[in-house]
């Protein structure tokens, strides 16, 4: 627990995000998540300000994952705190320490991550399934049933598929992989889901080889 707190406290952003607390409650009063979940931005600030290590650890089990990262709290705080920024730090530390709460929350996003890596699209039409969007009600059945026909009717050639929302060039994809690699996204993914990471790593290697071959072909043509 102490090491987790030390990593939070040692983040280079920490001192800019936490400046004190008047306990006025403006952050919680204007927080969208606080209206629907057991979450309070003020509580996060108070726990970190008082260095309550045990309760900080407890909050990282569930509460920090309720934040929508809208940053309304940061805009309203008279002390210029950023509870949302602090939550972002806590989430990153939770991933770094391979906490089960992080794995449980992020696991459903594995399909989205795989789609993003393989196509450059975060979401695509074929991911719109009734089981995944129960809150859309019975009308989602109509969308799903006619989806292929509807997409083929769209005049733009690159949109006549349900597998991607738009076409992403090979060069852009490789640049995207490099950014994720350099910023630690892929390392975080490996900590959270090693099997998914292996699949994605193999795919990235194939795409990079394909791009290198394309560059060689361009050089030969010149």
- Extract the tokens encoding 125: 């039409």
Q: Which domain range does residue 77 map to?
A: 1-102
pTM exceeds 0.95? no
Residue 90 lies in a domain: yes
Q: What is 41-77 written as a DSSP string? A: HHHHHHHHHTT-HHHHHHHTTTGGGG-----HHHHH-
CATH, residue 90: 1.10.1060.10
Mind listing the pLDDT tens digit of every residue in the chain (222 residues)? 999 999 999 999 999 999 999 899 999 999 999 998 999 999 999 999 999 999 999 999 999 999 999 999 999 999 999 999 999 999 999 999 999 999 988 887 787 788 888 887 776 766 666 665 555 566 665 665 566 676 677 666 666 666 666 677 888 888 988 998 999 888 988 998 999 899 989 989 998 999 999 888 888 776
15 in any annotated domain? yes
Q: Is residue 36 part of a domain?
A: yes
Q: How many domains does the chain have?
A: 1
Q: CA geometry: angle at 96 spanning 93 and 97, to 5°?
A: 90
Inside any domain, residue 159: no
Residue 72 in domain: yes
């Amino acid at each position: 627990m102490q090491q987790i707190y030390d990593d939070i406290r040692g983040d280079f952003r920490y001192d800019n995000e936490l400046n004190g607390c008047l306990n006025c409650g403006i952050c919680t009063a204007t927080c969208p998540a606080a209206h629907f979940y057991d979450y309070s931005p003020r509580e996060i600030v108070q726990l970190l300000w008082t260095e309550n290590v045990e309760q900080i650890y407890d909050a990282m089990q569930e509460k920090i994952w309720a934040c929508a990262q809208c940053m309304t709290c940061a805009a309203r705080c008279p002390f210029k705190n950023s509870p949302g920024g602090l939550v972002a730090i806590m989430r990153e530390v939770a991933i770094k320490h391979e906490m089960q709460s992080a794995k449980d929350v992020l696991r459903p996003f594995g399909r989205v991550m795989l789609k993003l890596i393989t196509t450059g699209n975060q979401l695509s039409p074929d991911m719109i399934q009734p089981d995944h969007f129960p809150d859309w009600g019975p009308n989602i059945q109509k969308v799903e049933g006619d989806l292929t026909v509807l997409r083929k009717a769209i005049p733009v050639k690159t949109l006549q598929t349900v597998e991607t929302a738009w076409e992403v060039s090979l060069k852009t994809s490789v640049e995207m992989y490099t950014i994720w690699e350099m910023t630690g996204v892929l390392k975080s993914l490996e900590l959270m889901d090693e099997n998914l990471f292996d699949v994605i790593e193999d795919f990235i290697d194939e795409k990079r080889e394909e791009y290198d071959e394309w560059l060689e072909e361009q050089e030969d043509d010149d």
